[in-house]
Amino acid sequence: MTGPDRIVPLYSSSHGNSTLIKSNGAYILVDCGVSCKMTTQALIKSGVYPEDVSAVFLTHRHTDHINGVKIFSKKYHTPIYGTSATLAPLDVLYSPVTAIDENDIVKLEGGPEVRAFPTPHDVPGSVCYKIVNPENGNSISVMTDLGRVTDGMKGFAKNSDVILLEANYDPYLLENNPRYPYPLKKRISGGHGHISNAESAAAAEFFIQNGTKRFILGHLSPENNTEEIAAETFVNYLADRGLVRDVDYELSIARRFEPTEGFTL
């Protein structure tokens, strides 16, 4: 497993999330929220055999992040990591399981260091991750299902080489979605659900000022966002603050239903 570090979002939306990261020669998955079959197909399409995945790190226990992990563990016996609250509904797994704390640092033998940090999402034990290559210092952060972006989260992820950053919804589309009842709209936008395109851009402004130059916008809502709106809002927000795409930062949008090219470090 030689070659450069990289990040490849395999799936990214409320229908299912999974991100492939290669760091220090090891492959890990952050979340396994689609079926084992779909995860396997996406891995192979990305040039990786599922048997080569060293570990799966789960961010939280919502089904769009853990839906495929039971069958994946049964078929490939891949070690699974997550907080106790995240692992609780996965009562039967067929591979080694390690419960981590919300501020843990996991050092994978012969691989990267995986750091966890709590997020104010509306489920116990929710975390984001920063994956650090101890050999060259490369770092990749996965930050979705945030609720809101706290100062602690900013400090945790700053100086990352790449951040997969949530840009879940456009406020106008959410507010005017007739299929979403008012309580669901409040749950999404109330500080414990998801962050909007503009909130994502505001966080990115801080990260750019603190060393991050590559972003992937992820977890876009199929109902309340589009790739075009997310990118336009993000780029325009930063342009108003003197930060120009492809000059001050690079931007990619994670596809909902197929692997995205991502970035190679």
Question: How far is residue 144's CA from residue 263's CA, in Å, rounded to a whole number?
Answer: 17
Instruction: Please identify, in words, the CATH class of the domain defined by 6-258.
Output: alpha beta
Residues 239, 177, 174, 224, CA torsion sign: negative
Determine the pLDDT at residue 3.
80
Q: What is the pLDDT of residues 81-134, one digit of tens each?
A: 999 999 999 988 999 999 999 999 999 999 999 999 999 999 999 999 999 999
b/e per residue 125-150 (b: at least 16 CB within 10 A): bbbbbbbbbeeeebbbbbbbbbbbbe
Question: How far is residue 237's CA from residue 208's CA, in Å, rounded to a whole number?
Answer: 13
Please identify every stretch of the chain with a pLDDT value under 70, giving residue numbers as ranges.
Answer: 1-2
95 close to 86: Cβ distance less than 8 angstroms: no
The DSSP letter of residue 51 is G
Determine the pLDDT at residue 2.
61
